[in-house]
């Protein structure tokens, strides 16, 4: 999906830079829904419908909970099983934040 996005390709220097890990913070409790779903857990196949949160593992948003997951293997290759999606919030409000850890320094501030 990102291979044809020129903005992403420019930002990542054609894939040289990549997210090594994600630290994801849940800032609110959610009454129902709003999970972070990992549909390829345990080697499950690529999903067709990303809104189907019934496959894999889902982490329920609870205020103060933090999840950390890796997007790359130690070799630097992408971990296809780190694929994740946000499930629909059915009741309540979901606030969250993330911190990306990159495999190389990202200089967002230009001089």
Class of domain 18-102: mainly beta
Instruction: Give the mean pLDDT of the chain.
Output: 89
Domain ranges of the chain: 18-102
44-87 pLDDT, tens digit each: 999 999 889 999 999 999 999 999 999 999 888 889 999 999 99
d(CA 7, CA 93): 31
d(CA 18, CA 110): 19
pLDDT at position 98 is 96
In this prediction the pTM is 0.81
On the question of pLDDT at 92 being above 60, the answer is yes
Sheet arrangement for strand 57-59:
57-59, 36-38, 85-86
């Amino acid at each position: 999906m990102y291979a044809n996005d020129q903005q992403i390709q420019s930002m990542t220097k054609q894939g040289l830079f990549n997210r090594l890990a994600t630290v994801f913070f849940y800032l609110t409790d959610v009454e129902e829904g709003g999970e972070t779903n990992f549909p390829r857990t345990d080697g499950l196949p690529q999903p067709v419908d990303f809104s189907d949160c019934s496959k894999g593992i889902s982490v329920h948003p609870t205020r103060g909970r933090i999840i950390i997951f890796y997007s790359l293997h130690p070799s630097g290759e992408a971990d296809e099983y780190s694929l994740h999606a946000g499930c629909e919030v059915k009741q309540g409000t979901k606030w969250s934040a993330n911190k990306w850890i990159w495999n190389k320094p990202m200089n967002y501030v230009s001089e």
